Chain A
Amino acid sequence: MLGKLIKYDMKSISRTLIPLWILAPVISLLFSISIRGLVGTAEYAVQNTLENQALIQGSAIITGITTLVFFGVMIAILVMTVLFIIQRFWNGLLKEEGYLMFTLPVETWELVVSKGICATVVSCVSILVGVVSCVVMFMGAISGFDELWNGIGQLIGYAVKADGVMIWSCNVVLFVLLMIVGTAESVYRVYAAMALGQLFEGHRVVGACVSYIGIGIAWSLISGIFTIIVSLALPDTAYYLTEDFGVFGLLYMLVLLLITLFQIVIWHLMTVHILSRHLNLE
């Protein structure tokens, strides 16, 4: 049943986000080409000691427009992704559509997990699209892009040499995992806040916003206290930093991963508990 739920939640993305995901890299490619063009035009003008300002101005205007469009699309992706995550949960479970979803023969946790997985996938794809678009853009904007690539390659080489392939690739895998789990945590935190918010009869939206802030504060208090305790218990963290960077990074990310997973579990249990015991449909 979970699979079927995910299928329906995924279906609802197609209308809004997929066109933007395709549009973004294309726009950034145009942007990158137009910058190349601008640089090229300027160089051509200088070399030939031309005083043709119109040529430079023209390509500057094109570059300006593509810059605007590029940032516009990036912001649109960001806004649409956030809106999508909030809307699919709020409208999909806590408003009229809730009458449909909560009377399906499925468990409440399945409804929540389905929304969670879908939102996490959407966020990760949006982030990926953003990164790819930026890389494409920089390829045009920075003339020494090949040197940058080489630099990154060298850096990786040093890291691999220092720590060994094993640890280095573990680091990379963990980092990617951490990004995904971190995204899921942000999604789930918003869900928990909305589940709390719907309890406030008549002030559901305000309730959700206040809950979100409240959850954030509560968590930073708890994690702050936890950090103090840990750093008191383990005074030698600096030792790991200097001694073995790769292993330290690995441990650090592992702990962070566990903490984030723990957070997800808490937000999940909270959301499911509220929705199965105290559902308050309009």
Chain B
Amino acid sequence: MGEVLIQCQDVWKYYGRKEALRGLDFQLSGGRIVGLLGPNGSGKTTLMKVLNGLLRPEKGVVLIDGEEPGIYTKSVVSYLPDKTYFADWMKVSDLFDLFQDFYEDFDREKAEQMCETLQIQTNQKMKILSKGTREKVQLILVMSRSAKLYLLDEPIAGVDPAARDYILATILNNYNPEGTVLISTHLIADVERVLDEVLFIQDGKVIRQEMVDDIREQEGKSVDELFREIFRTVPYGGGTANVR
């Protein structure tokens, strides 16, 4: 299904002496929703930043749609960081202007409609909006683009279940079906049913890459269960209680 969209070969990234990515290797095809799963500190955010060009790896090959991260890849990648990124002077409509000016694939009408259904007024300043609303505006901006690659860094971390449903539905209803969506998260149970494929990442390496239905078929368990198995740490006092 689809041709290779992301290619990472032996990618290394250091923060000072600490290694964040240690010879990361994988390929992803277009037209899929992929989960990037791993415990905290496994390199998920670093990988996201490398893919969108915010960080440059020390070693290795990173190709998106056949090109190294740069102006072209930035024009086809839609990135949702794990923090809100607005200037305090901006209104919602200023952001729409900005996206319209810089991204050819931005669908302003769609963004405005999405704001309308959420009853967000576009002439409001970003700084007076609540944190949850700001995050929604950011999601709307990102999903109103018809991108080749969506990089969503922890989109459902720290939100209530209702907002979680809204976020997942927004992603499902609005992504470009020819594009690939890469969602990093540690809340697997919540996103499992929207994923085609999963990448398990640990200590800066991809340790497993598989289709979700293959895991269920072959292992007879959910991705969430498999994840707990792989990343289980034995608590003090022995035993491996599966605490939820």
| A residues in contact (CB < 8 Å) with B | 1, 4, 7-8, 11-12, 15, 91-92, 96-100, 102-107, 201, 276-277, 279, 281
Asked if B83 contacts A103 (CB within 8 A), the reply is: no
A273, chain B: closest CB distance, angstroms: 11
Question: 1/0 per position for B223-241, CB-CB distance to A under 8 A?
Answer: 0000000000000000000
Asked if A104 contacts B89 (CB within 8 A), the reply is: no
Please classify the interface of chain B as helix (H, G, I), strand (E, B), loop, or mixed, using the class held by over half of its residues.
loop
Asked if B87 contacts A12 (CB within 8 A), the reply is: yes
Name the residue on B nearest A92 (C-beta): B87
Asked if B74 contacts A105 (CB within 8 A), the reply is: yes
Which chain A residues border B102 with CB–CB below 8 Å? 1, 4, 104-106
B92, chain A: closest CB distance, angstroms: 14
List CB contacts (< 8 Å) of B69-90 with chain A. 71-72, 74-75, 77, 79, 81, 83-89
Q: How far is the CA of A58 from the CA of B95 in the complex (A)?
A: 53
Q: Given the interface contacts A277-B56, A281-B54, does A107 sit within 8 Å of B85 by beta carbon?
A: no
- Does B101 sit at the interface, judged by CB under 8 A? yes
Asked if A99 contacts B81 (CB within 8 A), the reply is: yes
Asked if B87 contacts A104 (CB within 8 A), the reply is: no
B104, chain A: closest CB distance, angstroms: 9
Question: 1/0 per position for B180-217, CB-CB distance to A under 8 A?
Answer: 00000000000000000000000000000000000000
The 10 lowest CB-CB distance pairs between A and B, nearest first, are A105-B75, A105-B74, A99-B85, A100-B85, A99-B81, A96-B85, A105-B71, A4-B101, A104-B102, A103-B79
Size category, B interface: 20 to 34
Instruction: List 6 other contacts, CB 8 Å, given A1-B102, A12-B89, A96-B84.
Output: A4-B102, A96-B83, A97-B85, A97-B87, A99-B81, A104-B102
Q: Given the interface contacts A4-B102, A105-B75, A106-B71, does A100 sit within 8 Å of B55 by beta carbon?
A: no
List CB contacts (< 8 Å) of B1-52 with chain A. 15-16, 52
B116, chain A: closest CB distance, angstroms: 23
B153, chain A: closest CB distance, angstroms: 10
- Does B94 sit at the interface, judged by CB under 8 A? yes
Name the residue on A nearest B56 (C-beta): A277
Which chain B residues border A276 with CB–CB below 8 Å? 56
Question: 1/0 per position for B91-111, CB-CB distance to A under 8 A?
Answer: 000100010011100000000
- Does B53 sit at the interface, judged by CB under 8 A? yes
Asked if B86 contacts A102 (CB within 8 A), the reply is: no
Q: How far is the CA of A1 from the CA of B71 in the complex (A)?
A: 11
Which chain A residues border B54 with CB–CB below 8 Å? 99, 102-103, 279, 281
B105, chain A: closest CB distance, angstroms: 11
Q: How far is the CA of A4 from the CA of B71 in the complex (A)?
A: 15
Asked if A107 contacts B71 (CB within 8 A), the reply is: yes
Asked if A11 contacts B53 (CB within 8 A), the reply is: no
Which chain A residues border B87 with CB–CB below 8 Å? 12, 91-92, 97
Which chain B residues border A106 with CB–CB below 8 Å? 71, 74, 102
Asked if A105 contacts B103 (CB within 8 A), the reply is: yes
Asked if A279 contacts B55 (CB within 8 A), the reply is: yes
Asked if A15 contacts B83 (CB within 8 A), the reply is: no
B14, chain A: closest CB distance, angstroms: 11
Which chain A residues border B56 with CB–CB below 8 Å? 276-277
Q: Which of B72, B81, B87, B94 has the most CB of A within 10 A?
A: B87
Asked if B84 contacts A103 (CB within 8 A), the reply is: no
Q: How far is the CA of A276 from the CA of B70 in the complex (A)?
A: 10
Name the residue on A nearest B16 (C-beta): A201
Which chain B residues border A11 with CB–CB below 8 Å? 89, 94
